[in-house]
Structure 1
Amino acid sequence: MNHTPTVSVVMPVYNTADYVEAAIDSVLAQTFEDFELLVIDDDGSDESITLCRAYTDPRVRIISQKNRGLAGARNTGIHHAEGDIIAFLDSDDLWAPEKLENHVRHLQDNPHVGVSYAASTMIDDEGRPLRIVQRPRLHGIKAHHVFLRNPIGNGSAPVIRRAVFDDIAFRATPGDRLSYFDETFRQSEDIECWIRIALTTAWQFEGIRGAYTHYRINEGGLSANVVRQFETWDRVRNRVWSLDAEFASRWSPAAEAFQLRYLARRCIRLNDGAMALSLMKDALARSPSILWREPVKTLTTLGAAMALRSMMDLAGRTFTAALKKG
């Protein structure tokens, strides 16, 4: 490229050969064209990078590294980024063509905003819409909103000023390169970063109307491991305690309840009614406030968990009766 781009798009790639071309195509189709696309080759074993190398658009750069995980790949992308605005796209997700145009305008018009985001729609493995939309809170975002409900929603939604990352940079060990995402996190690395921004900087989070990210739901991936996901979230909570103990003491019960409700909804999609109901009971015991904070979603989740558990119990009794008759 002959000039410094306005936006650097960071796309970590690790074994996503089935999806990566669609992800790259969605970037190259952006109505805002002043960007570079940094494909971070995280040392996968499939044909993902071979597919990436077939692109001849000069805005596409491939940067290879030994495997460092998603946080490490994003850090590498930020290190190599030339733009004053950095956007992230996971290589199994997609963007609507107007995404960058709308976020760049938003940041240019609002110098106090450091993190811009919007709603996301869910798609399945085949890219088909699931009629599920993440509709985040857009305005008046405080640190507790980030901790309780993570309005950004997913790692492919935010578009962030480079200056924000400069303000939160740290070295994991003396002499190591600067880090922005904590590479000790293999899940929840994004929410850990967002809450660190919210608690330690003056930059504001603000959303824009519209849904510009298509987030792929892969129930067979790491996100389906409910126990591991909660353990990782608990590490985020510990990080919050280390940053601001008074804040953590006030907001941790409700934040945990929302996280347990989120995991219950994942269990419902996995048809595990027993686990979903157990998680919802734990959520309400931890903080009944989720009932009046978000009554419809909480009661709907509880009802779905109870119904699924009843169906599973009925199926079990029917099967047992059939065996006895046989």
Structure 2
Amino acid sequence: MVGMKVSVLTVYYNRGDQVDESIRSLLSQTYEDLEIIVVDDGSTDDTLARLQQWSDPRLRVISHSNRGFTRSIIEAVAASSGEWIAIHGSGDISYPERIEEQAALLAAQPEVGVVGCIVENRNIVTGETAIFHKLREGEPALAQLLRHNVYTHGEVMFRRSVYEQAGGYREIFKFTQDYDLWLRMALITEFASVDRLLYRRYTLPDGVSASVDKMMVQQYLAELGRQCVELRVATGRDLIDRHGAHGLFFRKRSKRLSGVLQGLAKAAIVQDRDLAKADQLLQLALEEHRSLKGWLLRMAVRFADRRAGRRERALRLIDRLRALKARRRGARALEAAP
């Protein structure tokens, strides 16, 4: 058995109906040297009462007024004592061997400071599942992270020494706090993943979030994280190092972010069938970077959204084009099969 203490950290807010199975999965871990710190972030339902029903010497519950996830996870790290830290999403499931397998990898590969695993994303409404495993071997983690996040937050275990050297979670990141941390960790350590399904993450129904404002903040903060790490590589200091909480105001407009927002707009059309939301996202994309493609897409969306009949015809056309594209992909796959 690996001889390093692991601290498992999880933050709850109004998730009373998802306490028992999730906490049980942590107490069922095969790894022995374990502490579990659960923060109740000012829940107004029965979350705290359900958490306090669990009695185990490895489990400690901290309760405070609502402060948000980032401040709560920072407090959890400060309250923990393990040399290695594992995150666990509230309501999610860590399979029994998760901590043992990830700890074994960290013990065997001292150059690795962050480790994930294969994740099952399960839609809590439809029951549909999808596998998430984005980290690719043979390519530097930072190069991959500059394109997209390679981990879900709850699957990760990292060394406390790497966390402290990277500077820990930063309160300015109300969202994407994990992505910002991974970007900075990628400058000082190697990333790895256990090639086994060890974590189940429960997700909301597919589709773009209902709030354009929330999506905007999420994507702007993600781009801030990317620009910060690029500045650290170039100059040694990033926007937050220089300007603190005002760093977001010094973020440069970005063609990269414009592309992300256009992608969300397309998802709003295809998945949510919401042309008004797509129009808002396309406007934000054009504010980041003006392009003929983006302008034409927005004009097409606005034209289709002006009348109900026109809107429905446009959406039916999109459905037919998607079906045609899927058939072509299937035909190519059959041709390529031995």
Q: TM-score range by the shorter chain?
A: 0.7 to 0.9
- Aligned pairs for 1:21-170 (under 5 A) are 21-125=20-124, 129-139=127-137, 140-152=139-151, 154-169=152-167
Mapped to 2, the partners of 1:25 and 1:317 lie a distance apart of: 45
Cα distance change, pair 313–266 in 1 and its aligned pair in 2 (3 A): closer
Counting matched residue pairs gives 282
**Cα displacement (A) at 1:117:** 0.6
Query: Partner residue of 1:313?
Result: 311
Equivalent position to 1:190, from 169, 178, 186: 178
Distance, in Å, in 2 between the alignment partners of 1:35 and 1:287 is 52
**2:334 equivalent in structure 1:** none
Shift of 1:85: 0.8
What is the deviation of 1:279? Answer: 6.2
Asked whether the 8 Å contact 1:5–1:36 carries over to 2, the reply is no
Q: 1:317 to 1:24 in 2, by over 3 A?
A: closer
Q: What are the Cα deviations for residues 243-285 of structure 1, in whole angstroms up to 9, with x where unaligned? A: 4348799xx64465356536744764434367569969969x9
* C-alpha spacing 1:287/1:89, structure 2 compared with 1 (3 Å): farther
Give the structure with higher Rg (CA): 2
Measure the CA separation in 2 of the matches of 1:130 and 1:312.
32
Q: Structure 2 length normalisation: TM-score? A: 0.70
Q: 1:241 aligns with which of 204, 227, 252?
A: 227
Residue type of the alignment partner of 2:263:
R
Distance 1:28 1:266 in 2: 40
Counterpart residue type for residue 163 of structure 1: S
In 2, Cα distance between equivalents of 1:317 and 1:115:
43
Q: CA deviation at 1:235?
A: 2.6
**Structure 1 residues 264 and 7, CA gap change in structure 2 (3 angstroms):** farther
CA–CA separation in structure 1 for the residues paired with 2:192 and 2:309? 42
TM-superposed CA distance for 1:214, in Å, is 1.4
SS at 2:106 equivalent? helix
Structure 2: gaps (5+ residues)? 239-250, 292-300, 317-338
Query: Which residue of the other structure, out of 197, 222, 228, is the alignment partner of 2:214?
Result: 228
For the structure 1 residues 244 and 124, does the alpha-carbon distance in structure 2 shift closer, same or farther, using more than 3 Å as the test?
Answer: closer
SS in 2 for 1:71: helix
Normalising by structure 1, report the TM-score: 0.73
* Percent of residue pairs identical: 22
- Which SS does the other structure have where 1:103 is aligned? helix
Greater alpha carbon shift after TM alignment, 259-268 vs 228-237 = 259-268
SS of 1:91's partner is coil
Q: Is the 8 A contact 2:208 2:264 kept in 1?
A: no
User: Are the aligned partners of 1:226 and 1:263 in contact in 2 as well (CA < 8 Å)?
Assistant: no
More displaced 10-residue stretch of structure 1: 51-60 or 94-103: 94-103
Looking at structure 2, the residues matched to 268 and 186 of structure 1 have their Cα atoms a distance apart, in angstroms, of 28
Tell me, yes or no, if the aligned pair for 2:262 and 2:281 is still in contact at 8 Å. yes
